[in-house]
Structure 1
Amino acid sequence: MSRIDDTKEFIPVRIAVLTVSDTRDITGDKSGATLVERIETAGHILADRMIVRDERDQIASQLRTWIARDDIDVVISTGGTGLTGRDVTVEAHRDVYEKEIDAFGTVFTMVSMAKIGTSAVQSRATGGVAGGTYLFALPGSPGACRDAWDEILKLQLDYRHRPCNFVEIMPRLDEHQRRK
């Protein structure tokens, strides 16, 4: 069972939030705002925030820009994970991933099933790693962002979480590049 080890010190991570939408702006971005509020409440650092259109190349380009920055450890996108023709966020993420975190989508589906039943099959939430940066693609609803953060990311991005977490292996994500 997972738990927080209070004998360890909390280590904040630097997180960028990317909203994928053809129609939203910052003032109407409830999903992005939900993530920002949770990131900051947890004690992490909001490193950047942006909105891009539902265009695969624009999404992938922004992911690559943030991956190249030393001041960003994690990118969380919201929107564009569904099944319609304009939903291309998952494909853009996969264009960038070096490794996919397959279990992220599975665990997100399990969390969603408990909340919205079989409608959970319509989400293609995904996670991966590229250039030593974690990347997560969440659905565009505030509820889905709350569920992903509260049930998965809040714990996995907390260094004190046991038995293991994403933060403790962060220094080794790009070790293959340093061995050359």
Structure 2
Amino acid sequence: MIRLALIITSDSVYRGEKRDEITGLVEEKVKGLFHIVASRIVPNSISEIRATVLEAVREADIVLVTGGTGVSRRDITIEALKPIASKTVPGLGEEHRRRSYAKIGARALLSRTEAFIIGNTLVYACPGNPDAVSTALDILTEIGDHCIAEIRGEGHRERH
């Protein structure tokens, strides 16, 4: 079973000013598919996000980071992750925006949803609203196992 770590980036949830709407959704949606090995809530801080992700990649196959992917000055998740990634996986962000566009229209184009390889782990950063997280989980349940196999070098077999 795929090991999933969840990291919620939100100043207001971190300070207890807003209710966490994501953890329960993730637990319900991945039940029987992924094993949640960690769940953390962190403020919008590059150093906090980066340190928490680096800790999570040691125990998870996939790290889902929610929040901080928009265009406001507080949206810094991508800036936290990009410097520590060995690769990007553009197709996952593209597919997320395509599916979101079908639901909410042009506002989806402001999302900076992106996926990275950090160590041997897929790190998927998406918006922090429940619908966007649900879309991310749909994509991850469709392609996660294949992506993990590819990262580990188990996906392609040489043909002679």
TM-score, normalising length: structure 1: 0.79
State the superposition RMSD in angstroms: 1.7
CA contact (8 A) 2:61 2:148 kept: no
What residue number does 1:117 align with? Answer: 105
Aligned AA for 1:166? C
- 2:25 aligns with 34
Q: Which residue of 2 aligns with 1:72?
A: 60
Gaps of 5+ in 1: 1-11, 160-164, 174-180
Q: 2:121–2:148: 8 Å Cα contact kept in structure 1?
A: no
Distance 2:60 2:46 in 1: 21
Alignment match, 1:24: 13
Q: For the residues of structure 2 that align with 1:42 and 1:97, how far apart are their CA atoms?
A: 29
Tell me which residue corresponds to 2:118: 130
Correspondence list, 1:1-180, <5 A: 12-25=1-14, 28-39=19-30, 41-67=31-57, 69=58, 71-150=59-138, 152-157=139-144, 159=145, 165-172=146-153
Gaps of 5+ in 2: 155-160
Aligned-pair CA distance for 1:108: 0.9
Equivalent position SS for 2:92: helix
Q: Map Cα deviations across residues 95-128 of structure 1 (whole Å, 9 max, x no partner).
A: 2211000111111111111110111011110101
SS at match of 1:172: coil
Alpha-carbon deviations, 1:12-63, whole Å to 9, x = none? 1101000001011588211233222212x24210000000000111101111
Question: Would you identify which runs of 4 or more consecutive aligned residues in structure 1 move more than 3 Å?
Answer: none
Q: Percent identity?
A: 28
Q: Which residue of 2 aligns with 1:176?
A: none
